[in-house]
């Protein structure tokens, strides 16, 4: 499994280097083998660029998580978990005895506009193409899927929170219409430490024991399946 190796020492969270996903390594190897004039070369390069941008965003997220102190938690990344006949992926999962937090990193560039009517983010590209995303619904869907997976453990109900983290520092974020407030679970990466301070201030009640937290970690590690396409 590709995960942040986490240790807890005197209340400080220690995060080691995130490993490069196997799929990204496969794409990089394929680019070295596929001739420049091959018909599939442009599709390969586009997919490689997308995966590299996503990985850079996740590394940015790791950096801001590493700034946190006095936080006893377990952090897993790049989880790919079964859901009936398919899988769902969680970029970063922070687990404590008080809450679980799903972090979805988005390395969008340029101008983003939050469309209140559709709950989507619209990205204006250089070529004037408008692309819409719905990361809020995506991360909330992952929340429901994760809760379904955890039911098997029959543990006390614990708050499961979600955040969409914009990791590109050059991104501008607006709302449409302008008077509409952007949802509180969409944050910039540089605002993440203070956001987590607020979450820790609100969620103080211990719900799980450290043993129960470890049970959840072991379950997720056991169920995790790396994405390795043929």
Q: What is the pLDDT of residues 79-121, one digit of tens each?
A: 889 888 889 999 899 999 999 999 998 888 778 888 888 888 8
Closest CA to 56 of 85, 20, 100, 16: 20
pTM exceeds cut of 0.85: no
- Dig out the tokens for 193 from the structure: 């430490």
d(CA 219, CA 223): 6
Q: What is the pLDDT of residue 76?
A: 87
Percent of the chain with pLDDT over 90: 23
Q: Is residue 148 within a helix (H) or strand (E), and if so which, with residue range?
A: helix 135-150
Q: Are strands 86-95 and 100-106 parallel, antiparallel or unpaired?
A: antiparallel
Token pair in block for residue 122: 């619209």
Confidence at 165, pLDDT banded by 50, 70, 90:
very high
């Amino acid at each position: 499994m590709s995960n942040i190796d986490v240790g807890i020492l005197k209340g400080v969270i220690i995060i080691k280097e995130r490993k490069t996903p196997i799929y990204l390594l496969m794409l990089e190897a394929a680019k070295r083998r596929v001739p420049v004039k091959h018909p599939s070369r442009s599709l390969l390069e586009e997919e490689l660029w997308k995966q590299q941008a996503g990985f850079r965003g996740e590394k940015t997220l790791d950096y801001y998580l590493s700034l946190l102190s006095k936080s006893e938690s377990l952090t897993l990344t790049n989880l790919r978990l079964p859901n009936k006949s398919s899988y769902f992926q969680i970029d970063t999962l922070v687990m404590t005895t008080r809450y679980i937090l799903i972090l979805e990193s988005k390395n969008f560039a340029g101008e983003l506009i939050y469309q209140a009517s559709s709950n989507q983010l619209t990205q204006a590209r250089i070529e004037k193409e408008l692309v819409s995303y719905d990361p809020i619904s995506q991360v909330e869907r992952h929340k429901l899927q994760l809760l379904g997976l955890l039911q098997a453990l029959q543990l006390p109900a614990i708050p499961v929170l979600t955040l969409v983290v914009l990791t590109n520092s050059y991104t501008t974020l607006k709302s449409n219409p302008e008077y509409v407030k952007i949802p509180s679970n969409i944050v910039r990466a540089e605002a993440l430490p203070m956001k987590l301070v607020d979450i820790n201030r609100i969620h103080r009640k211990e719900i799980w024991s450290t043993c129960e937290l470890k049970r959840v970690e072991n379950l997720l590690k056991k169920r995790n399946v790396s994405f390795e396409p043929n």
